[in-house]
Chains A and B, each alone.
Chain A
Amino acid sequence: MTAGPSPVSRALHFLPVVLLLVYSFYNIGPMFWLVISSIKDRQDLFTFPPTLIFEPTWSGYQAVFGVGAAAGSAAAIGLVDALINSIVISVSGTVAAVALGTFAGYACSRFAFPGRNDFLFFVLSTRMLPPVAVLVFYHIMFSELGLADTRIGLILIATFINVGLATWIMKGFFDGVSTDIERIAINCGYSRFYAFRRLVVPQVKGGIAATSGFCFIFAWNEFAFASIISTTQAKTLPVKIASAMGATGLEWTQICAAGTVLIVPVVILFYFLRHYLLMGMTFGVLGRAK
């Protein structure tokens, strides 16, 4: 009745596993290479075949932090400030963008108000501008408004680059939550805001986590605007590191060290969010209002 699986179908069964392993290698390999290159001495960097066993050097990290061999250099001065700046700006910007996006996304999901599509498209369009094209204008604008080189200014930047993304993703998640529960609550006399806050928002925790993760990444790595706007006091970490290394030219070790260091806060954030990121969303069938 049932013969054993044919060799072809057995192979097909393993194909996904093989492909996943290949992707894992593709994904993790370069990360591994980044970290390992950050502790390679100059001569070990350019060997062929590439070396995996070598004498590690910390000169890259020293340059980034301005300690050890690089003590007293421009790097050390202001590094902690830059770190604090980056954290404050990125966290604030993320919180603001996610909050605005959640509210706007909910409104756009639940209410088919006139101009909704225009609003959504406008919000999305703020993401379409290449920073290169408008850096000048922001410099002028911020200088005029006294926002140049301030944390507030950069927080505004961090927020505005992310609101479009936040709104669209949150709307997508809200669309996936059935309107049943809200309607029942409202019929029972609860306010819509209450239904929103207590009943609907908890169902999109996955979306909030994902949006927060993305917004933080974009805010944290934001370089173009930050380098133009923040020159001394509000310097963010990427800018600081770039300028500190600029003098010595392209030092691969240092670049890789800088890259590794910059990832750490983001990894920490994603690690804490991991449960929510895997939560996903819920679809319902019964009772769609619009």
Chain B
Amino acid sequence: MTGAKRFELSDRAIIWLFLVPTLVLLIGMVGYPFVSLIILSFYRFSILRSEAGREYIGLENYDFLLDDPELWERFIFTGQFVVTSVTCQFIIGIFVAYHLQKSFRGRDIIFTVLMMPMMVCPIVVGFLWRYMFNSEWGVVNYLVTLTGSGKVDWLGVTDNALLAVVIADTWMWTPFVILLATAAFRGIPKVIYEAADIDGASAFYRFTRITLPLAAPILFIALLLRMIDSFKQYDLFFAMTGGGPGSTTQTVSFSLGKVAFSYFYTGEASALAVILLLIIIGLSLVLVRYLNLLSAKARG
């Protein structure tokens, strides 16, 4: 039979062959840092003063961190940021992707242009929005004054600053959602929409009962990825607020950067990283479980 390989790989061999390289690469790249991270979290250590050696202090780093009320505030703040930003990205992203479904002239050019925000270097994005949000001469405030209101102090007031960073983050990552949502929507066979039309479904009913459920698996993967990335967001806060005013817009990730590279409390930073990781892992597990349910349902 033409095309069939004389040397055939059993399914078992295929599984191994397809998975092992990835596994090897990841364990190789991530093993040492992961393990070191966890180990170091039990030590008092600073890379700056590495000659001073390290002192095993058990869970002291964790105690110290978890006792700090500011840390909890930062967690809440981080949660606010992640939820707000990801929600905005998804609502806007799905809306835009839905309307990009029909073909029109120039659609692929417009699509490419819409993808651009996520291509910009994150630090540059941060500086750009800082520049645009400047309360004195920033273009955002210019637009605000056009509507008649006075200038807003964006980056100097905590709530405004949060909003500003959310706006910047949403700007940057909505295209990610648009791209994946477009792919998901495109995958629904036209026949099903025709059947729904004939069955008498309104556009809304069709969207909620057919489009979304069938697109759900991919959308959830997008949600998972965006959520994980949002927790790591650092560049925007660094460039736009520097954690300020004061230290009110410090996310956990930002705090991590400070502890690691401003104070150089490497042990403590490691412990903080572990805590952050555990939270992300926890949330991801919940999401993944839900994703599996959705996938099974959508596949029929």
A163 and B14 contact, CB distance less than 8 A: no
CB neighbours of A100 from chain B (8 A) = 21-22, 25
CB neighbours of A279 from chain B (8 A) = 183, 186
Query: Contact flags (1/0) for B92-132 with A, using CB distance below 8 Å?
Result: 10011001000000011101111111111111110111011
B186 and A281 contact, CB distance less than 8 A: yes
Residue of B nearest to A121 (CB): B288
A259 and B120 contact, CB distance less than 8 A: yes
Of A33, A169, A198, A256, the residue contacting B3 (CB under 8 A) is A198
B276 and A130 contact, CB distance less than 8 A: yes
Helix, strand, loop or mixed for chain A's interface?
Answer: helix
CB neighbours of A37 from chain B (8 A) = 128, 131
A128 and B277 contact, CB distance less than 8 A: yes
Of B121, B229, B231, B234, the residue contacting A259 (CB under 8 A) is B121
Return A260 CB to nearest CB of chain B, in Å. 9
CB neighbours of B293 from chain A (8 A) = none
Of A49, A133, A277, the residue contacting B273 (CB under 8 A) is A133
Contact-residue bracket for chain B:
35 or more
Residue of B nearest to A17 (CB): B99
Which one of A2-10, A19-27, A66-74 is at the interface? A19-27
* Contact A252 B119, CB 8 Å, known A130-B256, A130-B273, A130-B276: no
CB neighbours of B273 from chain A (8 A) = 129-130, 132-134
CB neighbours of A140 from chain B (8 A) = 36
> Is the C-beta of B157 less than 8 angstroms from some C-beta in chain A?
no
Return B236 CB to nearest CB of chain A, in Å. 13
CB neighbours of B15 from chain A (8 A) = 107, 111, 113
> Is the C-beta of B9 less than 8 angstroms from some C-beta in chain A?
yes
B128 and A267 contact, CB distance less than 8 A: no
B111 and A274 contact, CB distance less than 8 A: yes
Residue of B nearest to A221 (CB): B121
CB neighbours of A288 from chain B (8 A) = 299-300
**Roughly how many angstroms separate A79 CA and B183 CA in the complex, as a whole number?**
37
> Is the C-beta of B217 less than 8 angstroms from some C-beta in chain A?
yes
**Roughly how many angstroms separate A125 CA and B26 CA in the complex, as a whole number?**
10
A107 and B284 contact, CB distance less than 8 A: no
CB neighbours of A221 from chain B (8 A) = 119-122
A132 and B3 contact, CB distance less than 8 A: no
B117 and A30 contact, CB distance less than 8 A: yes
Of A19, A30, A108, A271, the residue contacting B95 (CB under 8 A) is A19
A206 and B183 contact, CB distance less than 8 A: yes
B20-68, CB < 8 A from A: 21-23, 25-26, 29-30, 32-34, 36-37, 47
A210 and B179 contact, CB distance less than 8 A: yes
CB neighbours of B270 from chain A (8 A) = 133
Return B187 CB to nearest CB of chain A, in Å. 4
B253 and A132 contact, CB distance less than 8 A: yes
A132-149, CB < 8 A from B: 132-138, 140-141
CB neighbours of B295 from chain A (8 A) = 175
Binding site for A on B (CB under 8 A): 1, 3-5, 8-9, 11, 14-15, 17-19, 21-23, 25-26, 29-30, 32-34, 36-37, 47, 92, 95-96, 99, 107-109, 111-125, 127-129, 131-132, 136-137, 139, 142, 171, 174-176, 179-180, 182-189, 214, 217-218, 221, 224-225, 228-229, 231-232, 234-235, 253, 256-257, 260-261, 266, 269-270, 272-273, 276-277, 280-281, 284-285, 288, 292, 295, 299-300
